[in-house]
Chains A and B, each alone.
Chain A
Amino acid sequence: MQKRVTFRNLWLPYLLLAPQVIITFIFFIWPASQALFQSLLVEDPFGLKSNFVWFENFEELFSNPLYLDSMLITAVFSIATTLLALSSGLLFAVLADRAVKGASIYKGALLWPYAVAPAVAGVLWLFLFSPANGIVAAVLRAMGYEWNHVLNGGEAMLLVVIAAAWKQIAYNFLFFLAGLQMIPRSVIEAAAIDGASPLKRFWTIIFPLLTPTTFFLLVVNVVYAFFDTFGIIHAVTSGGPAGATNILVYKVYADGFVGLDLGGSAAQSVVLMGIVIALTVVQFRYLERRVQY
């Protein structure tokens, strides 16, 4: 799509674009190309000498059991977070859509966790599950279960999943609600006249019609779980115990910034870049379809 009416000026458009393009080059494209380049080098931590090793860093990466573990952990973490956040968001949206009275109050009250930083969300849940003085941990103990996420990897994972999903429910709720409100009433009424129960109507009519929204949210949630949850992991578990919550994004940081393995960290960055590009492409291809739909 193009404008019919445009202005003519030789230098102004470049001047207007300059700030954005300069910042993009200095802080995005140059560092990213450095990461690509470094992923092919082996360098000592002081940067004194480096050898070009082609894809050795990648070979090492994919034969490193710790990295494969981290991939598996990331998969578990993202799938669990996405499922929990999506299903709760959908449940609340369906209910708020049904509730004629007070719908806007519910909407307002469900939205605000979105504004809480992931790291802060992590801290809140960390306190609830704190073995010494957390209220949820105390309730669990009363029921005969000793909760200690500092020692138990599975519990640590559950904790970060809950914290990550809690923050994202608001977002899913909002988009599901918008999706539900776009479904024509007549379709649902017709099914009701034919004798379909509310539950049946949901599974055979409403849910299929929500597919575009669900798919879109699926991608957004996976991106969120992959890249925006660094704060939760760093603040709550620091990847532990024994690497049980060491997701890829945290590992890049820990290996590169703390462990100073430049080549290995750069190779991990490149793998992550590939994941982002794939997810972005999926998102945009889907968006094209949605416009026609």
Chain B
Amino acid sequence: MIENRPWLAYVTHGVLVLGLIVISFPIYIAFVASTHEVENLIATVQPWFGGALIENYLTVLQSGKQNAGGVPVNTMMFNSLVMALGIMVGKISISIISAYAIVYFRFPLRMFFFWIIFLTLMLPVEVRILPTYKVVVDLGLLDTYAGLTLPLIASATATFLFRQFFLTVPDELAEAARVDGAGPIRFFVTILLPLSRTNIAALSVILFIYGWNQYLWPLLITTDTDMTTIVMGIQRMLFVADAVPEWNLTMTTAILAMLPPVVVVLVMQRQFVKGLVDTEK
């Protein structure tokens, strides 16, 4: 603080706290709704907690929302977890080895491959919905975990990140490894991989959130309700024709849908911040 103006400090903290309240308000209300019985939410506003917390969460987890297909949220969360972890591990694995190839080898067509990978940045799912869907159908990957994860694991961002990092690794390490008779695979496994672990951790956090929060892709390629992921499952709960809109169960599901990524961010805040900053370079 440059000048000593106590009132300015009060204003600063006041506005910040107000901001925090506004930002957190939707979550608070959602959580409150998830503790009420359905009758209490039909046409009334509930600003304070009710008594059906455990009941609602058990209902949703075990049997889902009956009038919206009744897929247990357990199943949805499992599918989301498989998808998130699959995308996370897949992206990191194939990106780190392709970055290794591009940085540590000289071979014909090296730059060509580099640009091919770069192109993926310019082709998000949204701009090629139908043809990609057709490819997935032709390969018989509809309603499979492979279909949910494989098409999303190509990553220019992760490849660039590892490339940047490998370029900062001192040449002496590779030289020493070579003098000692280590081949490229040995060098990668015993030296480069351990050196990359902070980058891998940061990227894992970002990619887990990315995978968990996928919406359009599972919407396109899952028709079997047992393959629903939780983020897209909520949408099915919103528009239920000719039935009581069970907002308490929908909001319980919403809380469960955001819990894993939010916990990851809060627990691994340092890696999360590093990951965000790194992936935008």
Contacts and interface: CB of A to CB of B under 8 A. Distances in A.
A178 interface: yes
Given A3-B104, A5-B178, A119 B130 contact: no
Tell me if A's interface is mostly helix, strand, loop or mixed.
helix
Contacts of B120: 24, 28
Contact of B231 (A32, A92, A120, A171): A120
Tell me if B's interface is mostly helix, strand, loop or mixed.
helix
Contacts of A31: 128, 131-132, 134-135
A257 B151 contact: no
B189 interface: no
Contacts of B1: 98, 100
Contacts of A100: 1
Given A192-B3, A230-B216, A231-B231, A124 B27 contact: yes
Given A174-B273, A234-B219, A20 B98 contact: yes
B145 to A, nearest CB: 15
Name, among A135, A220, A276, A280, the residue most crowded by chain B CB atoms within 10 Å (CB to CB). Answer: A135
B194 interface: no
Contacts of A49: none
Interface in B138-178: 139, 150-151, 153-155, 159, 166-167, 171, 174-175, 178
Contacts of A13: 101-102, 105, 107, 110
Interface string A4-39: 111111101110110111011111111110110010
A265 B129 contact: yes
B269 A32 contact: no
A213 to B, nearest CB: 11
B238 A23 contact: no
B89 interface: no
Interface string A94-133: 0110111010001011111111111111011111101011
A286 B220 CA distance: 35
Contacts of A88: 19
